[in-house]
Structure 1
């Protein structure tokens, strides 16, 4: 039987090629994803470890209970602790570091780097006057507030040389600094395309922390001293609260773990592409083996007649699947390694730099490829194998095995109807639940499974709807319709690939479009201001920006938004400071109790969720401990509905600012004389010195920002559709090719009685088109239903009260067009093959 199985594989090489390709694509993308993420992760971890070469123990700030800093507290990482660390037995040196966001403009004024990876730090010279972390390639280290040094990668990319004046920004205003030195570094963020600027320690402390304070103290062990021993010594000098000591090895391991976790999201997203391809491929494999078994009815029945058992017949079919899966797995593995290498090269070509490193092909990747390819293929072929074993020996006397019995069809349709009904009920119940995600997921799985089981039953009436159109093509159209409904199971299996792909894409497009509109409403409904000014990376702005904007003649009202840690009673809370005089002109709050009035003195407004949790109402007096440790009392003037823009406790900046040690703004709201116009925006940009680190956004920009994020997500999902479409094309080609082979006699007879080659091609193309459109209509219909249901679930949770269903008619029409194109393209080769059949040879074929 094993030899028989191998002979059958070799005898049907062309027929099984499409199946191999379908499995290979899925395996290749699984392997490509694993190779790519492993390679990038390994390179980043190696680069990260180099950054800890000079760190044996690090003292870091530690904020209890997740708070950034207790009100009135000072950082314990000061010069005194630094000097004590350097004098410890076993310590060779101690380095105090501070760091923060630093935007570097290129010569055209645009931001270098990706925003969040554009950072600044301090140059901390040792006894020899040099900082071992940052060896200078050109020039000298920075000294004084007007100087800085830049990493070599960024300097080369921007064309800067020692002596150039460079525009930078740390907290808002543009600073013109003299470039005194260019250094090299193993920093992974720089290797990945970011930038690093260095200042002298005094300047860096003023920019990033406070005079005399450090963000971290790094200690290098003397020769012969272990990291553990040095840490024990450091623990003895740590302050009681606010600081922790960690070994360099632990930091490196923690960083490696963080990198691995950050890669998990990318890996999951990319594996979803491969998962869809494999899922769709299952239908193709099952369909292929079902048709192969049907074509070999006489052969299999004859094997039964001469003594082969059912188990041997099943094993024969599964052996064929094993061979096909092994071939697909090996080719998929090799192709996947190429994809992984290509993805890394593509990232480099698009400017997303990564540290250098070898291509990583882990043993687990090889094992995964073999398991995925072989297991998926064998499992998909198991049901056709069982059917093959049930072929009675008497079937060898007939040319075609008996079609499915009425009983089997009734059982199948009954099971499908029960599953679909239960799934629909579960989905509808979930839409009214505040936490119905599990119920929704279960209902979705049941409904999709039920519909796939019922697809053969649904194919007849839905394809019949195309009859009036097909009649326009004469006898070719009539024959195409009859061929499409002749074998409903085959038609259903062929269409299922597109159904799954379009279901996912349509559902996500409906939800994404509706969420975008809802978030857009929430983000802009509470905003009266013409512009919102903020840092590009959402870090705090210098208050100088708000002062400069308020002084412009075209600005009629402005308000900085400031956050400050505080305590209300014994609970930690954050206060939001605004310009009480102009706030009503810039924001629109929906009050449930009280009113905004004019914020000032101790008046404040609170959001409804906070008020409900604490039992606050207009007139409630709140005992508050400010950031500097001083106490006061706030009086609730009103309770408003929270939104994307405003939430928490809002009070006047005049009340808040005196208690802030380091005053910074999260953003500035601005209203102008002539509203949001291109000229006004240009005027504001010029007034802020064409600062690349600052974003000036009007309501449209806010909306576009939301749309950009959702569009990025949708583009990834459309990649899933492309994957499903590629595999679906292979499935339709496979099915049509075997269908043409099965109907060789019939096609020969049609040719003999006068149907020319042109009409034969048209018949096959129309059959393919009808099947593809059937799958497309079914997938889009299910996608709209699930999109609606997901939206109802979102509304039930109360997270997006402005959510409304938005049907993207244009995109749904495009998806249906994609299904039609799939049908046309998939039919090209089978149609040509059918038209080229020798009519006499075909008529004589068994």
Structure 2
């Protein structure tokens, strides 16, 4: 290790590319995993002051994998709270019926629509969040409310599931939420799902006693287990952020291995004479391998430390942008995560050792006679390992793309990315095969000039050097075309397909609210659908189904045969046996119910939209849109998230590879000082040398662009075929020529500047 440290210390420029690649890779992984570890479920603030919480029973999982809960009826919740209040150590057992409410200011609903679904609470449950009155009195009658930011005696406009209302403020609270009289909250809420306990003893022992009292009627949670009560909407936000972080870790690790391997291969090729000299004085192949591993380990340790520090410093700065982008919940902060930082550091070392593996094995076979070589000719640009690994990687990537249409929708994106990565690796390994023909073709018009001849011959004798420079360009262009092309192709087809599913020219849609209130849809010409959730018990098993309340049916209609009678539990916890009047495979939901029945048992239900058959009447929280504009709202919301993913991943890939291009060319050009000195002695000036190095850099960029573009186009065609099969219709392939041109131009500018910098520095030093 001491010899390795000396080599790295005295020749750090030769290891600069590896150092930067590892440092950036570790920084990406350290920052991403720190953010992910900091973004874990938390107990809702409105329940945080209750050491023990009781949740209504779970009956399984939903289609999305989240727990499916049934609600208690008001009577069940009251009875259970009375039993819990009798448990020793429990000072109070308080039910928390929550409901939808939004403040209306200047005629428009305010605040986060999704958060507003549970913004209303019974006043008695304010103690579960530790909230108190800072002024005024508690609400005691319907139409009264206590909230923060409003003075007692004032009146506020609100919107509930029933419709608009004017409430009188009786008290000012020191916490968020709108609190009404308990009887009013019970009337507006769809059942009860949480009972909070305030205690005077040790919470864990009281929780154990509470479990005995509750039995099968609920789930008792204490300590960190209360985090499971985080609202599903918040959990979904965390899930979106986690997908971006996972993608960053995956892409950052892949690019780091790719770049480190390319940099190490170039460094090993430049040290053939040095390694040959070591072999001439008796060094064995195993000693050469250990030397290169030791050198890389030293660089990895230094780069890992730098990357960990950079990632730890950068991660907290990303909290606010992630919250504003909707990828983390409000109030999210990043905390120090030593385990995540340590794992990133170890991963950096592993990545470095993987990257140097092929170069170390190849260097161990350098003959001692290479110490006497003066020529820069590479006798074998394509090694046996390249000939084996290149086609295998390409075949693996092709197999994944061929199988793409047969995979489920969730696996297709991962398979596309995996196939692209394998094809990019295969193209990089096989790059020396195509460099020769491309160089001969590209330099044909200038083959008789001095600069053209030097450019052609210098490139042909340094094929591996050019391939190492082309590799990061290949990666940047490949990911740029793949990411932007896939998004553009899907977005181009999504609007038309979704609009075709809305059988109305005009739609009355929510305006700043999570749905339309009962008052907003009353009297509107058209069909208003109120979604709800039904728990159906068949053969002793309970399953959740999406249901819709509509005026288009008089009885119960199912989309599949669920039996002649449905034993259901409604959103408010009540049960009933409903006779099925019809089975229609064209039903817009698994179960259709009369609207009045749904609203009777789910008073918090909100209509998704009204498919208009005539002019709409004005109403609070309602806007009229065309069918295309209506579906475009959801497409734009998803598009904003996708754009964030695209910018981050594309910026990561292109930025990383741009630095790799610069590092590789700086290393390659700096190692050719003797060659350029000889060229000057032969009469060439700095301008001649710059033309040669710039031409070689440009050829490397062209090679990487052609290979990366070809791979990504193959992947785009496979992705389009998969999308067409899923939609059942032909779609256009959108190729992002403009974005690709920008990426190529950036790579070209970086390459030319990096290749010219050592030449200019050497030229200035020689004067």
State whether TM-score is above 0.5. yes
SS at match of 2:172: strand
Q: Structure 1: how far apart are the matches of 2:452 and 2:576?
A: 84
2:54 alignment partner in structure 1 = 58
Q: Could you tell me which residue of structure 1 aligns to residue 350 of structure 2?
A: 375
User: Does the aligned pair in 1 maintain the 2:518–2:607 contact within 8 Å?
Assistant: no
Partner of 1:428: 402
1:284 aligns with 2:262: no
Q: Deviations over 1:456-497 (max 9, x none)?
A: 2123334555447x7599765665455444423232232222
Is the partner of 1:629 in helix, strand or coil?
A: strand
Residue by residue over 1:487-523, the C-alpha shift from the partner in whole angstroms, topping out at 9 and shown as x without a partner, is 2323223222232343344334343334334443342
**How many Å apart are 1:531 and its aligned residue?**
3.8
Distance 1:319 1:558, change over 3 A: same
Are the structure 2 counterparts of residues 413 and 725 from structure 1 closer, same or farther at C-alpha, using a change threshold of 3 Å?
same
Hey, what does 1:219 align to over in structure 2? 197
Asked whether 1:801 is paired with 2:728, we answer yes
- Report the CA distance between 1:208 and its aligned residue: 1.4
Q: 2:749 aligns with which of 810, 821, 824?
A: 824
| Matching of residue 565 in structure 1 with residue 539 in structure 2 | no
Out of 183, 193, 198, the residue aligned to residue 173 of structure 2 is 183
Distance of aligned partners of 1:441 and 1:673 in 2 relative to their CA distance in 1, 3 Å threshold? closer
Mapping 1:425-824, distance limit 5 Å: 425=399, 427-428=401-402, 430-431=404-405, 447-464=423-440, 466-467=442-443, 471=446, 476=451, 479-480=454-455, 482-535=457-510, 541-550=516-525, 557-563=526-532, 565=534, 575-580=547-552, 610=560, 623=565, 629=576, 631-636=578-583, 639-640=585-586, 646-650=588-592, 662=603, 664-671=605-612, 687-689=618-620, 691=621, 698-752=627-681, 755-796=684-725, 799-802=726-729, 804-809=730-735, 811-824=736-749
Output the CA distance in 2 between the equivalents of 1:65 and 1:334: 41
> Structure 1 residues 465 and 311, CA, compared in 2 at 3 Å: closer, same or farther?
same
Change (3 A) 1:448 1:164: same
Distance 1:366 1:136, change over 3 A: same
1:247 and 1:32, CA in 2 relative to 1: closer, same or farther beyond 3 A?
Answer: closer
SS in 1 for 2:610: strand
CA distance in 2, matches of 1:69, 1:263: 21
| Superposition pairs of residues 324-363 of structure 1, within 5 angstroms | 324-344=299-319, 346=321, 355=331, 360-363=335-338
Contact kept? 2:102, 2:159, Cα under 8 Å: yes
Map of 1:191 onto structure 2 = none
Task: Tell me the equivalent position of 1:21.
Answer: 20
Residues 666 and 757 of structure 2 are in contact (CA less than 8 Å); yes or no, is this contact kept in structure 1?
A: no
Secondary structure of 1:732 counterpart: helix
Indicate the SS of the match to 1:94.
strand
For the structure 1 residues 763 and 453, does the alpha-carbon distance in structure 2 shift closer, same or farther, using more than 3 Å as the test?
Answer: same
Q: Distance in 2 between matches of 1:659 and 1:130?
A: 30
C-alpha displacement of 1:454: 1.4
Counterpart residue number, 1:142: 139
Equivalent residue in structure 2 for 1:244, among 188, 199, 218: 218
Change in Cα spacing, 1:398 to 1:236, as seen in structure 2 (3 Å) is closer
Is the alpha carbon distance of 1:271 and 1:563 closer, same or farther for their aligned partners in structure 2, counting shifts above 3 Å?
A: closer
* Greater shift in the superposed pair: 560-569 or 364-373: 560-569
Corresponding pairs, count = 751
> Which residue does 2:290 correspond to in 1?
315
CA displacement, residues 362-418 of structure 1 (integer Å, 9 cap, x when unaligned):
332342232122222232123222222222222222224773348x65774365335
Going from structure 1 to structure 2, the CA distance change for 1:783 and 1:630 (only over 3 Å counts) comes to same
Structure 2 unaligned segments of length 5 or more: list them: none
Report if aligned partners of 2:404, 2:415 keep a CA contact under 8 Å in 1: yes
2:177 pairs with 1:196: yes
Change (3 A) 1:525 1:751: same
In the TM superposition, what is the alpha-carbon distance from 1:574 to its structure 2 partner? 5.3
Displacement of 1:279 after TM fit? 2.4
- The 1:230/1:272 distance shift into structure 2, 3 A limit, reads closer
Alignment-derived partner of residue 273 in structure 2: 298
TM-score by length of 2: 0.84
SS in structure 1 of the partner of residue 147 of structure 2: strand
Where does the alignment leave 5 or more consecutive residues of structure 1 unmatched?
A: 186-194, 551-556, 581-599, 615-620, 675-682
Query: Structure 1 residues 631 and 457, CA, compared in 2 at 3 Å: closer, same or farther?
Result: same
Task: Name the CA distance, whole Å, in 1 between partners of 2:672 and 2:211.
Answer: 83
The answer as to whether partners of 1:174 and 1:688 remain within 8 angstroms in 2 is no
Superposed displacement of residue 530, structure 1: 3.5
- Deviation string 1:250-295 (CA, Å, 9 cap, x unpaired) is 7425458999997565345224324423422333333333333333
Structure-2 residue corresponding to 1:413: 387
Give distance in 2, aligned partners of 1:769 and 1:149: 69
- Could you tell me whether the CA contact under 8 Å between 2:316 and 2:335 is conserved in 1? no
- Of residues 321-330 and 226-235 in structure 1, the stretch that sits farther from structure 2 once superposed is 226-235
In 2, Cα distance between equivalents of 1:278 and 1:603: 54
In structure 2, the partner of 1:120 is 119
The verdict on how the C-alpha distance between 1:765 and 1:130 changes in structure 2, with shifts beyond 3 A counting, is: closer
Structure 2 Cα separation of the partners of residues 713 and 419 of structure 1: 29
Q: Distance in 2 between matches of 1:279 and 1:838?
A: 38
Change in 2 beyond 3 A, CA 1:318/1:60: same
For the residue of structure 2 that corresponds to 1:361, the secondary structure is coil
Query: Is the 1:568–1:623 Cα contact (8 Å) retained in structure 2?
Result: no
Q: Secondary structure at the match of 2:762?
A: coil
Cα distance in 1 between the residues matched to 2:113 and 2:417: 37
Q: 1:289 to 1:630 in 2, by over 3 A?
A: closer
| 1:711 CA displacement | 4.4
Normalising by structure 1, we get a TM-score of 0.77
- What SS does the aligned partner of 2:76 have? coil
In the TM superposition, what is the alpha-carbon distance from 1:668 to its structure 2 partner? Answer: 3.2
CA-CA distance at 1:338 after TM superposition: 0.9
SS of the residue aligned with 1:143? coil
Rounded to whole Å, the distance in 2 between the matches of 1:20 and 1:635 is 69
Distance 1:79 1:310, change over 3 A: closer
Counterparts in 2 of 1:779 and 1:105: CA distance versus 1, 3 Å: farther
2:369 corresponds in structure 1 to 394
Cα root mean square deviation, aligned: 4.3
- Structure 1 distance, partners of 2:49, 2:604, is 36
Indicate the residue corresponding to 1:617 in structure 2: none
Distance 1:344 1:161 in 2: 33
| Cα distance per residue 1:179-206 (max 9 Å; x no partner) | 3333234xxxxxxxxx521111111111
CA distances 1:112-167 after superposition (whole Å, capped 9, x unpaired): 236336632434449xx98873112333322322222224xxx3xxxx54444333
- Checking the alignment, whether the CA contact within 8 Å between 2:276 and 2:369 is kept in structure 1 is yes
In structure 2, what is the Cα distance between the partners aligned to 1:697 and 1:167? Answer: 29
Partner of 1:38: 37
